[in-house]
Structure 1
Amino acid sequence: MVPFDIGALRTNRALQELHLANNLLNSYQDALQLGDLLRYNNTLQTLELSNNALADAGLEELCDGLRSQKAGLKVLLLRNNHITVKGMDHLAKTLPVLKVLQVLDLGENLLGNEGIQIIREPLMVNSSVLQLGLAQASITCEGAVALAEFLAESRQIQRLDLRQNEVKVGGLMALSLALRINCSLSSLDVDHTPPQEQDEFLKETQARLQSEITQRCRANAAHSSLTAETPETSTGEATDKLGA
């Protein structure tokens, strides 16, 4: 259970980060207090809740609180919390109204392909998430295709973690095609040694697609770095060189 009274933090104006990983938090009283905190505290920016047991009911409480936020949370870490596809229904209602959430980690939860399908369109509507963690989330090629559709529409996503999922050639192909359109993703994490295909041609195709994904992410990262360089920075660098 929450080791202190969350209610005391509702009106705290200095609190920006709250780390409660590995605290045996449950989906009832603990989740209710956390949802209440999110409903009233507008300064909290990071909420780390990994490795607890909030489950789908707890996620519902958190989402209710998030929808009431005036400022908004920037980092929400929910790795390994017994969340399933049912919890994605609550998240799907919340993602479109989250305007400042930048990091969302749902890894090590049993989301499955159906869960990804549920949040695909809400992710498209959302215009703030930069990093999305879906490692070990029971995703196969079907889920990867849904994520590829999201990538093709997104103009802001920078990192997607899909490690420890059963993403084979079909999923990798969809992700690679999406990266021909997407210009923001600079890191797509998949297993270095993904589930191996038996057919030799498929093995070669798998390796080629992984290479293409890596190259396109690197190109996006390089383009992003060039775009981020301001005229003032360029002028300053030129001045330094002239003064050398």
Structure 2
Amino acid sequence: MTRCSDNDEETDDSTEKANKNQRKRSKGEKHVSFPPDEQIVSGFAEHRTTDRNADSCLTLTEVMVAYQQSCSRHQVQPREHILQQLQQGVCVGGSMECLDLKGERLDHRSCEALEVVLKSLHFDFINLQAAQLEENGASSLLDMILYYESTTHLDISDNSSMGTSGWRALAHLIKQSVRLSRLDVCNVPVVDYPAQSLSKALLTSRLTVLHLHNAQLSGMPLYTLAGTLKTNRALKELHLTNNLLNSYQDALQLGDLLRYNTTLQTLELSNNAIADAGLEELCDGLRWQTAGLKVLLLRDNQITVKGMDHLAKALPVLKVLQVLDLGENHLGNKGIQVIREPLMVNCSVLQLGLAQANITCEGAVALAEFLAESRQIQRLDLRQNDVKVGGLMALSLALRINRSLASLDVDHTPSQEQDEFLKETQTRLQTEITQRCLANASSSGRATETSEAATAKADRRADSMTTA
């Protein structure tokens, strides 16, 4: 096992006790108590860095032995999965890629036994999903993660029994950590106290990515969260899928958020009920975005052709938005007709998602007209739509003019057509579309491994057609 540094030191009980004393504990409690905020800001983080450097000489084998000894002291069985990770992992400069504790049942003593691991190593990702954390264990473990700045990405999803103390510790972690940049709290009700504590912590948080999928945020919780994020200047990605967000109060709060926050770059709202009225509120907020939101994901939100009327008014004035996903909504051909000309005028959208949007050849022809005029669109997703030979022909012809589109996703199954000649024509058009997109990508320097794979597929289709 390669050492993290060249120094040779052995771990013993006296070293463990010395490190224990560095964590000041309040009387009668088993979680870390922290000094005043100003001390944390002025020198506490440097002190913890010194602590980690002192332990950075430990090999993973030594950390594993120390963990086993810690389990013995806390009278718990060492977790085999943790031992395997320490045995098979790679340590670089005191850091490992991941500590995966997903599905492990971590009671209070099991959490306490993990301190030696969190103290000795830094992880890019700590996965606590479905770890069945109860209040005392959650509080203790989160305090340790903060004290030792153990990770940059923490997933604490599927832990619904953390209690008030656990949520208080999580809020403190969010507020004080200088390293934590991404947090996932999914499949957990973020209502009442959790919503309030999370929102207050975000006032001064350094988090840049926050995932809150299926967190029951509709109503007052979203109101509280959005109110805080209006003044937040750190968060860049907010993911809120499957929260039953509605087209009235919820969409109003999100639209208001977009009016005042110019730091947020990604807003994911898929699998909600924003609907047409809600899209109007979002579009009103988007008009205020002179810098900020680049990605808006609205897949499966009960949006129809009526919602396209609101989007059509906003598209010509948008200067920042680059990715717009409207897939799995009931837009239909009429919806595409409504936004065709506004898309031509728009100068910011680079990627447009329209998968499973009830589009047929008529809608594909309208999009082809847009492609022929556009000089910036780079990707268009039309998968799971009923686009047959007529629509594919229009798209292929448009790509003879368009020089920006690097990816046009269409279904590559010619079974839609019954006639053998039409099947062959459909396959040929799909191949032509792929090759023209690859040529655009290559000429603009956007060729990727995905593009190379697509080229191989296109060549195989062409060869099979020639053989036939």
Is 2:210 the counterpart of 1:27?
no
Alignment of 1:132-151 (within 5 A): 132-151=352-371
2:402 is matched with which residue?
A: 182
Q: What is the Cα deviation at residue 101 of structure 1? A: 0.8
Query: In the TM superposition, what is the alpha-carbon distance from 1:15 to its structure 2 partner?
Result: 2.2
Which of 33, 41, 49 in structure 1 is aligned with 2:269? 49
Query: Number of residue pairs matched?
Result: 227
The answer to whether the 8 A contact 1:166-1:194 is kept is: no
Write the distance in 2 (CA, Å) between the matches of 1:194 and 1:159.
22
Among 226, 230, 234, which residue is 1:14 paired with? 234
Asked if structure 2 preserves the Cα contact closer than 8 Å seen for 1:166 and 1:195, the reply is no
Structure-1 separation of matches of 2:383 and 2:270: 17
Larger radius of gyration between Structure 1 and Structure 2: 2
User: Where do residues 146-165 of structure 1 align in structure 2 (5 Å cutoff)?
Assistant: 146-165=366-385
Question: Match for residue 198 of structure 1?
Answer: 418
TM-score computed with the length of structure 1 as normaliser: 0.90
- Structure 1 stretches of at least 4 aligned residues deviating more than 2 Å after TM superposition: none
- Tell me if structure 2 keeps the 8 A contact 1:167–1:195: no
Aligned to 2:330: 110
- 2:443 pairs with 1:223: yes
Aligned to 1:237: none
Give secondary structure in 2 for the equivalent of 1:225: coil
**What one-letter code is carried by the residue in structure 2 that aligns with 1:138?**
N
**Structure 1 segments unaligned to the other structure (5+ residues):** 228-244
| 1:52-111 Cα shifts (integer Å, max 9, x gaps) | 001001101100111122324100000000000000000000011111111000000000
Q: Deviations over 1:26-73 (max 9, x none)?
A: 111110100110111111111000000010011011001111223241
* Higher RCO (CA-CA < 8 Å; seq separation 6+): 1
Task: Find out whether 1:82 has 2:302 as its counterpart.
Answer: yes
8 Å contact 1:159–1:188 — kept in the other structure?
A: yes
* C-alpha distance in 1 between matches for 2:347 and 2:403: 15
Deviation string 1:202-235 (CA, Å, 9 cap, x unpaired) is 11111111111011011111111189xxxxxxxx
Residue number in structure 1 paired with 2:391 = 171
Q: State how far apart, in whole Å, the 2-side matches of 1:9 and 1:160 are.
A: 31
Tell me if structure 2 keeps the 8 A contact 1:60–1:90.
yes
Instruction: Provide TM-score, normalisation by structure 2.
Output: 0.47
The amino acid that maps onto 2:297 is: L
**Change in CA separation of 1:142 and 1:221 when aligned onto 2, cut-off 3 Å:** same
**Partner amino acid, structure 1, of 2:409:** D
The corresponding residue for 2:347 is: 127
Structure 2: runs of 5 or more not aligned = 1-217, 448-468
Instruction: Give the letter aligned to residue 16 of structure 1.
Output: K
Contact 2:265–2:292 (8 Å) recurs in 1? yes
SS in 2 for 1:160: strand
Percent of counterpart pairs with the same letter? 85
Matches of 2:444 and 2:415, distance apart in 1: 31
Distance 2:285 2:389 in 1: 40
**Residues 129 and 226 from structure 1, CA distance in 2 versus in 1: closer, same or farther, beyond 3 angstroms?**
closer
Q: CA deviation at 1:172?
A: 0.1
